[in-house]
A and B are shown apart, each in its own frame.
Chain A
Amino acid sequence: DVKVTQSSRYLVKRTGEKVFLECVQDMDHENMFWYRQDPGLGLRLIYFSYDVKMKEKGDIPEGYSVSREKKERFSLILESASTNQTSMYLCASSVDPTYEQYFGPGTRLTVT
């Protein structure tokens, strides 16, 4: 079974804090993705990575950065958290970026 894990299920941070969200997959997938999901807006792609140290901006990269130092691990960084970054964050991986993606359980981040 493909497994995608995320470091936290729930996280509460203060405005201005630096936030790290980690994602690990065990299927040797080249491609990894970070989405945020908000009511009425669906899933929106923040960043994706198609190889170690390679990344591409998605639809809403502003205020976020990513790091992929190892194939199995993809981190999302909020340099200075703001209240409008309160959301559900989902990580996914896939063998091909346009095929079936396997999702992690999500991290619900609240920024106060």
Chain B
Amino acid sequence: QVQLQQWGAGLLKPSETLSLSCGVFGGSLSGNYWTWVRQSPGKGLEWIAEINHVGNTNYNPSLKSRVTISIDTAKNQFSLKLSSVTAADTAVYYCARSGSGGYYCDSWGQGTLVTVSS
């Protein structure tokens, strides 16, 4: 049973860059896509981006200009960077596993609350 454990800074100032990572335990990065989803009171669940073990990526067009997703197969983890954050980026961010590109998520991390405030 794969487990995802995520970490990263929870309090940012406007214009800073959000940086989160997600470690994958009990399974390999191969054969799946690895996803970031966020949840804010105003917008519900929002899919951000996904990546597979060879670095193929897909992004939400609404966030693409500010998002970088990356993967480190040696460390069995993947990461999210979101630049130029504003209060609208305040949300709980989840990492998750998808069986394929553009698919449903069958395993999720515990979530990280990221608050953007001056």
Asked if chains A and B come from one complex, the reply is no
Which residues of B come within 8 Å of A, CB atoms?
none
